[in-house]
């Protein structure tokens, strides 16, 4: 039970807060709540692959390891739109937002203040031209899921949440809510 004096003080605080102009209230809330950087990530699988399948990975600067197509959302951009945009910018693969499916889990909250919104799509590798700019992305290639190259730490951890790669054993698989 909350002591009466504390409850009264809290009620008074809410009364004062809700009498403030809306723009000032918004500014106060932005100062008080945690802030996150939000990015969109796409797991692109080869629709034609046999066996365990193949995944599109990118080699980006400094070029020591491989990553997934991903990037930060623009202000006000829907995550699914940002995922389609980043996929095209980094690999040349053009898909519509409607072709992307939310992965399960769809959002991964990282300890250092960023959130990845994750989507999945399948495309036929044999007819999908990969185009990279040589600056932001050095190389894009399809890799067998059972023989992945050296992954960045963040990519290995993220893929592990989906039961893929070297971290799959260490990261508990995601379970849909209610399961």
The answer to whether position 139 is within a domain reads: yes
φ, ψ for residue 102, nearest 5 deg:
-65, 130
Q: Determine what percent of the chain is predicted with pLDDT higher than 90.
A: 61
DSSP H stretches of helix in 33-171: 79-91, 153-160
The domain in which residue 86 lies consists of 37-162
The answer to whether position 30 is within a domain reads: no
CA 39 to chain centre: 5
Average pLDDT, the chain: 89
For residue range 130-172, what is the model confidence (pLDDT) as tens digits? 999 888 999 999 999 999 999 999 999 999 999 999 888 776 6
Q: What is the pLDDT of residue 148?
A: 96
The answer to whether position 169 is within a domain reads: no
Q: What is the pLDDT of residue 157?
A: 93
CATH at residue 74: 3.90.79.10
The answer to whether position 95 is within a domain reads: yes
Task: Count up the domains in the chain and report the number.
Answer: 1
What is the pLDDT averaged over residues 32-57? 93
The answer to whether position 130 is within a domain reads: yes
């Amino acid at each position: 039970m909350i002591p009466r004096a504390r409850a009264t003080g809290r009620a008074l605080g809410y009364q004062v807060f809700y009498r403030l102009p809306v723009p000032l209230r918004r500014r106060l809330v932005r100062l008080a709540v945690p802030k996150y950087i939000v990015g969109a990530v796409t797991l692109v699988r080869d629709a034609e692959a046999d066996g365990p399948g193949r995944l599109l990975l990118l080699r980006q600067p400094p070029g020591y390891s491989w990553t997934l197509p991903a990037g930060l959302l623009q202000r006000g951009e829907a995550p699914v739109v940002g995922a389609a945009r980043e996929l095209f910018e980094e690999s040349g693969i053009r898909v519509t937002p409607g072709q992307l499916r939310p992965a399960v889990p769809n959002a991964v909250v990282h300890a250092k203040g960023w959130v990845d919104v994750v989507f999945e799509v399948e495309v036929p590798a044999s007819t999908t031209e990969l185009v990279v700019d040589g600056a932001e992305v050095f190389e894009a290639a399809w890799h067998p899921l059972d023989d992945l190259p050296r992954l960045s730490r963040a990519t290995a951890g993220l893929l592990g949440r989906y039961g893929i790669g070297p971290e799959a054993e260490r990261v508990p698989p995601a379970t849909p809510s209610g399961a």
